[in-house]
Amino acid sequence: MSKREQIILGFVALAILYAGYNYLGISEKHSRIKTEEELTDLKNLMVNVATQVNKAVLSDTETFLIKRAEANWKQDPFLSPGVSVKFTSDSELSELSDQGLSFTYSGYLETADKKLAIINNMEYKVGEMLAEGGFVVRSISANQVEIGVIGGKNTIILPLEEVKVFSLDKNR
């Protein structure tokens, strides 16, 4: 065995001995409270911290935020995965939902000055009314389109859906 290998094995042996001493040897794992005086000091510290926390005065903003967080939500902002979205009867969109309208955002085209979205195989730009329903295109991006009811404030966000195009060319 070369000198270099002996030195490396020596360091490995020292590391193993140190690990054995550190983990298996006689060492005090937890510091213990040795006197009754230290115990009373710790109890007094806990009481002081608790009273200081209880004395803290909340600002108006913090009070408002806490009240707002505790209040019941009128509409749940989170949707459960896998649950289909249906409009309630009191919504302005309920009639359109009952008609079974569905929208598919399948393409995006951007030129120097225009953005076009392909929704249900028709091209639309921002502000145009959709052929179905009374919806208008509010905004267009490469990943999604935002549409809404004309004159309403509720919006629907349509994500881009990839559509497979089949070719008649046998080389592809």
Q: Mean pLDDT, 10 residues at a time, over the chain (172 residues)?
A: 90 91 69 75 90 82 84 70 56 54 84 87 89 85 88 84 66 56
Residue 60 located in a structural domain: no
Q: Based on the structure, what is the number of domains in the chain?
A: 1
Residue 89 located in a structural domain: no
Residue 109 has a CB neighbour count (10 Å cut-off) of 13
Residue 140 located in a structural domain: yes
Residue 124 located in a structural domain: yes
Confidence (pLDDT) at 88: 47
Q: What is the Cβ-side half-sphere exposure of residue 114, based on CA atoms within 13 angstroms?
A: 9
**Domain housing 146:** 94-159
Residue 115 located in a structural domain: yes
pLDDT in tens, 124-169: 999 898 887 778 999 999 889 999 888 777 888 888 887 666 656 6
CA distance 121 to 106: 7
Residue 98 located in a structural domain: yes
Q: What is the CATH number of the domain that holds 100?
A: 2.30.30.830
Per the DSSP assignment, residues forming a β-bridge with 157 are: 146
Residue 30 located in a structural domain: no
Residue 105 has a CB neighbour count (10 Å cut-off) of 21
Residue 145 located in a structural domain: yes
